[in-house]
Amino acid sequence: MTTTDHRAAADTATGRGTGGTALPTVPVRADPPPPVVVAGRLPRHDRLAALDGLRFLAALSVVLFHFVGQTPGAMKVVWGLPYQQTFPEAHGYFAFGRLGVELFFLISGFVICMSAWGRTPREFFISRVTRLYPMYWIAIVVSACVVYFADSPFGHPHPRMLLANLTMFQAPLGVDNLDPVYWTLWPELCFYLTFAVVVWKGLTYRRVVIFCGVWTVAAVLAPAAQIPLLTLVTNPTSAPYFIAGMAFYLMHRYRSTPLLWGIVGMSWLLALHFLLIPEGGRNNWATWSPDRGWLVLVVTVFFALLAAIALGRTRRIRWRGLTVAGTMTFPLYLLHDTIGMTVAHHYGHRVSPPLLVAVTVTALIALSYLVHRFVERPMGRAMRRSLNTAAFGLQTPAPRP
C-alpha cells in the first residue's frame, strides 16, 4: 500500500480532506481493493474483463450504427440508396447503436478514476497523453489519406482543418472534425483536464465525491447562466455519465453507500433529461426520433451494467479474449468511420449490404488489432519513455556556453 493509499484510507475514516464537514465513514471492502497503478497499465490479471468486454461492445454498437442505423439522409449519402432498400427492418434497431457513446462516457468515468488512483499528476498526465494521442494521430493520418485520395462521402476539407485536428482542440477552435466521430474526444479531454485538479491534490474518497458534486452543479448551471466557456468545459450533456462512472468506481473500491447511490441517481436523471429535451440536448430530433421509451430503457440498462461491475457481480468473468477486445476499442472507434463509410459508398450498390457490412466490420476489427499491436503500442511506449525522462519543471535552463 502506498502513502497515497494510506492517506486515502485515513481521509475516509476521519472525514478529513480539504476541510469542511466530514463525510460519512465508508468501510473498505473485505476483499482487496483494485491495485495501485504505477507508471503503466493495470496488470493483465487484475483487469476487469467484463469492463473490457463492455467497452468493446460499445465501440461495436457505434460501428454498426454508422453502417446500418444512421439517419435516413446520411444513409442515402453513404450507400447511394435509401435505407428502405438496404436495411428496411434492421435500420430502426441499429439506430440505438449511437447510444454506445453514452456507454463509453460511463465506462470512462470508472476507468479514469481507477487508473488515476495513487498516481502523481505527472504520471496521470503521461498516461493520458500516451493513451490518447498516438492512436489519434494514426487515425488522423489514415482518415486524411482516405478523405483526400479516395472518393469518400466526406468531401475534401481545407487542409487547415487537418492542422487544427492534429491538436485535438478543434472544438474550442471552432473547426469541424476531420472525421465526425472525433467529437467525443473533446468531452473526454475536458474530463481529464478538470479531473487533473483532483489528482494534483491526491485522490481520496472525499475529494472525488466533492468533485462529482461540484461538476454536477456546474453542468446544470452553465446552460442556464448562458456562459459559453463554462458550458464548453463542463459538457452538460456528457457530464452525468462521467460522474456516474466515478461514483460506480468508488462503490467498487470501497462499498456502496446512500451518498454514492444518490450521485448515480441524480446523474441518471440528468442523463435522461439531456437525452430527451427537444433542443440543446444530445439529439437532433428533426433527424433522429426513435421511441423515447426505448431510449430510457437502454440508458438505464447501461447504468445497471456498470452497477453490476462495481458491486462485484461480474468478478468471475475472466476470459482473456475480453481483455484483448478492450485493447482494440479505441483503434476500432477511430478508424471505422472514414474507412467503412468509404467502402459502403463505393460498393454498397454492387454487393449485398448485409454481406458487405459483415466483411467490412470483420476486416476493421482485424485492422484495429494489428494497428494496436504493431503501431499504437510501440508509439505509446516510445512516447512514454521520452516523457518519463523529460524535465517538467519551469526552471530557467542553463545559458548556452
Predicted confidence at residue 285, as pLDDT, reads 65
pTM above 0.85, yes or no: yes
342: in domain? yes
19: in domain? no
DSSP helix/strand/coil, 296: helix
Place of cell 468478478: 315
Burial of 156 (0-12, 13-18, 19+ CB in 10 A): exposed
Predicted confidence at residue 86, as pLDDT, reads 92
Q: Residue 20: which pLDDT band, with cuts at 50, 70 and 90?
A: very low
Spatial CA neighbour of 218 closest among 208, 231, 229, 205: 231
Q: Where in the sequence is the domain holding 232, given as residue range(s)?
A: 39-388
Segment 334-382, tens digit of pLDDT: 999 999 999 999 999 899 999 999 999 999 999 999 999 999 999 999 9
8: in domain? no
- Residue 300 has which C-alpha cell? 438505464
**E strand segments, 315-385:** none
9: in domain? no
- Say how far apart CA 270 and CA 240 lie, in whole Å: 6
Q: How many domains is the chain partitioned into structurally?
A: 1
280: in domain? yes
Between 207 and 154, the more confident residue is: 207
Lowest-confidence segment of 51-55, 106-110, 394-398 by average pLDDT:
394-398
pLDDT(177) > 80:
yes
4: in domain? no
pLDDT(22) > 90:
no
Spatial CA neighbour of 135 closest among 336, 386, 391: 336
316: in domain? yes
Lowest-confidence segment of 45-59, 250-264, 360-374 by average pLDDT:
45-59
**Averaged pLDDT for residues 114-126:** 95
209: in domain? yes
- Say how far apart CA 103 and CA 99 lie, in whole Å: 7
Segment 131-149, tens digit of pLDDT: 999 999 999 999 999 999 9
pLDDT(286) > 80:
no
36 close to 2: Cβ distance less than 8 angstroms:
yes
